[in-house]
Amino acid sequence: FWLIKFKQSPVKAGMMPNTSSQITNNKEKQRILNIPPVLKPDSTDANNVYYTLRAQTGMTQLVSGEKTKTYGYNGPFLGPTIRVERGQNIHIHTQNRLKQATSFHWHGAILDDSSDGGPHQTVAAGQNKLISFKVNQPAATLWYHPHAVGSTASQVYNGLAGFLLVDDQNSRQLKLPRNYGKDDFPIVVQDRSFDKNNQLDYKKIVSSNGTLGNTLLINGTQNPYIETTTKYVRLRLLNGSNAREYTFKLDDRSSFYQISTDGGFLKKPVQENKITLAPGERAEIVVDLGHYSQGSQVKLKSADSNILTMKVKNNHDGETKLPRQLTNLQTVTKSGQKVTQNIALSDMGHMVSINNRQFSMNRIDLKVKQNTTQVWKIRNKNNMMGEIHPFHIHGVQFRLLSINNNASPSNMHGWKDTIMTRPGNQYKILIKFTQTGVFMYHCHNLEHEEAGMMGQIRVVP
Ligand code: C2O
Ligand code: CU
């Protein structure tokens, strides 16, 4: 019994399709982690910052042997990290140099619909578009990716994704690691499959249950390592996979501290020894390397696969203590909150739906008045053998009130824009739509999204 249980432990009932195909890179040679460069502004004046972001094709050495045809932003694969400050006016000259339409969506950003980069704001092949917005939300690890109907999943799969990091007064004074690429690392985790010519043939592996690869890439690197010099190392984890979920752990089962959820800092660091992220979700964690000896290798893993090896060169530098409090986060309680909207997520074979409907560009599914507070009850209607659905809403950050009417765990108390829903469970969230326009809500399993698991809400002034 124990042997069987042990062997099966990476596969949990109720999420078979998302984790059942095993994935490992442990035998690959260790390579230094690729760190996406920080995007330099073209210019700045007063409170305006101007950038250029170009979607393009390229060739990338992802696995040994032949290079792979890929997509990227300002380079062949993935995109640069865009760092913005709360209060800045951001102007991004987006350019589409692909042979197909794309869009530039800022996942987790609180913006009006004209800058959101959803399916209604596509940029045709060869065209440019200026996107302007004011950053008006707390410090957070956000990300960007395309969102054109019918090509979101394949374009992300081919490499279109990048980090959008927001800083504010609070994040700049908190005693946390924040030397980008030294003790503060963006970590995007993606699974891919390569054909015998080392190409990513999305069409050949697409499945409506979600596309799973057999090769793990971390910032585009197989089996990566970093060399660390500080006591504390901050990892900004992003599940950028199309459909796979990951549960991250340290290989010696030590605990670490979660300091943020999708949309910003938790009130206090939460000590835990594992964290699960569904596609689209982010979490920042801080690992304390202080109690390891110099020369040791500390591994972050998901199931049996290496995610990141931290080679401890030195562990005395940097902060010596973590802040007790990270931000002023208002406490929300589940009591007295009346449900204003029911959302039913289901998949029956190849049919996925939200409230029994499939996405239509020409239909507005929901309407709300700007600045009203809503409570949504999101129910994953599948039975226990069904699939997870990471439910994401554009243009907002929300708070989780309860799971199956129970209080949610403290590491989920922060701002969220994507909530992983497990089969048979229901989640109540508290949302205030502060921006006007038409916004998407959808499953962030990108193949489910493409199969119609998406709706539109109009926020009216
Ligand atoms: Cu990350 Cu609607 O998307
Ligand atoms: Cu789904």
**What are 153-179's pLDDT values in tens digits?**
999 999 999 999 999 999 999 999 999
pLDDT over 70 (residue 9): no
In CATH terms, the fold of domain 184-317 is: Immunoglobulin-like (2.60.40)
Confidence (pLDDT) at 4: 31
How much distance in Å is there from the Cα of 330 to the middle of ligand 2? Answer: 30
> Average of pLDDT values for 117-145?
98
440 lines ligand 1 (CB under 6 A): yes
Give the tens place of pLDDT for each residue, 417-446.
Answer: 999 999 999 999 999 999 999 999 999 999
Confidence (pLDDT) at 21: 59
Residues in the chain: 461
Give the tens place of pLDDT for each residue, 372-385.
Answer: 999 999 999 987 67
Which atom of ligand 1 is found nearest the CA of 107?
1
How much distance in Å is there from the Cα of 355 to the middle of ligand 2? Answer: 13
107 lines ligand 1 (CB under 6 A): yes
Ligand nearest to the CA of 443: 2
Give yes or no for a contact between 211 and 156, defined as CB atoms under 8 angstroms apart: no
Written as six digits, the tokens of 142 are: 């956000």
- pLDDT band of residue 349 (cuts 50, 70, 90) is confident
Q: Establish whether this prediction's ipTM goes over 0.95.
A: yes
Give the tens place of pLDDT for each residue, 251-309.
Answer: 999 999 999 999 999 999 999 999 999 999 999 999 999 999 999 999 999 999 999 99
Which of 362, 366, 340, 354 lies closest to 439, judged by CA?
Answer: 366
d(CA 317, CA 230): 4
User: What does the domain layout of the chain look like in residue ranges?
Assistant: 184-317
- Which protein residue has the closest C-alpha to ligand 1 atom 1? 107
Give the tens place of pLDDT for each residue, 56-78.
Answer: 999 999 999 999 999 999 999 99
Per-residue b or e along 407-433, where b marks 16 or more CB atoms closer than 10 Å to that residue's CB: ebeebbbbbbbbbbbbbebbbbbbbeb
How much distance in Å is there from the Cα of 79 to the middle of ligand 1? Answer: 16
pLDDT over 60 (residue 362): yes
